[in-house]
């Protein structure tokens, strides 16, 4: 069983301890749905520079994806202070991504 092939990927404990607004993007480089979502994610993130973006290569035996219950790619998980606020699976439009980013970014202002 393969755990994390990329030692730069954070552990679940590290994710849970993050204070700032975070978007975790689970997927793979070869996934067509992931490739289609890339420009949508980039466009939405450009409007929210304070949100940290963590891209995670997912797959069988990858504990981080399993700990979040990821089943389809891409799965976008929007966190604030380590708590999931919103989840988008295979997003097809930038507006939904931008709205979710705006919500966690606004929470940063309220903190």
Residue 37 CB neighbour total at 10 angstroms: 23
Question: Which helix H or strand E contains 78, and what residues bound it?
Answer: strand 75-80
Residue 100 domain-assigned? yes
Three-state DSSP class for residue 82: coil
Confirm whether 68 is domain-assigned.
yes
Find tokens 């919500």 and name the residue. 103
Does the pLDDT of residue 4 top 60, yes or no?
no
Instruction: Report how many domains make up the chain.
Output: 1
Q: Which domain holds residue 34?
A: 12-110
The model's pTM is 0.90
For 51-96, what is each residue's pLDDT tens digit? 999 999 999 889 999 999 999 999 999 999 999 999 999 999 999 9
CATH number at residue 77: 3.40.30.10
Q: Which residues of 77-105 are buried (b: 16+ CB within 10 A; e: fewer)?
A: bbbbbeeeebebeebeebeebbebbeebb
């Amino acid at each position: 069983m393969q755990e994390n092939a990329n030692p730069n990927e954070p552990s679940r404990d590290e994710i849970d301890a993050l204070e700032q607004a975070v978007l975790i993007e689970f997927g793979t480089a070869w996934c067509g749905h992931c490739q289609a979502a890339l420009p949508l994610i980039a466009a939405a993130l450009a409007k929210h520079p304070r949100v940290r973006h963590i891209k995670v290569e997912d797959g069988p035996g990858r504990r981080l994806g399993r700990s979040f219950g990821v089943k389809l790619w891409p799965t976008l998980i929007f966190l604030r202070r380590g708590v999931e606020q919103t989840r988008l699976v295979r997003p097809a439009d930038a507006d939904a991504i931008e709205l979710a980013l705006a919500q966690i970014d606004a929470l940063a202002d309220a903190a």
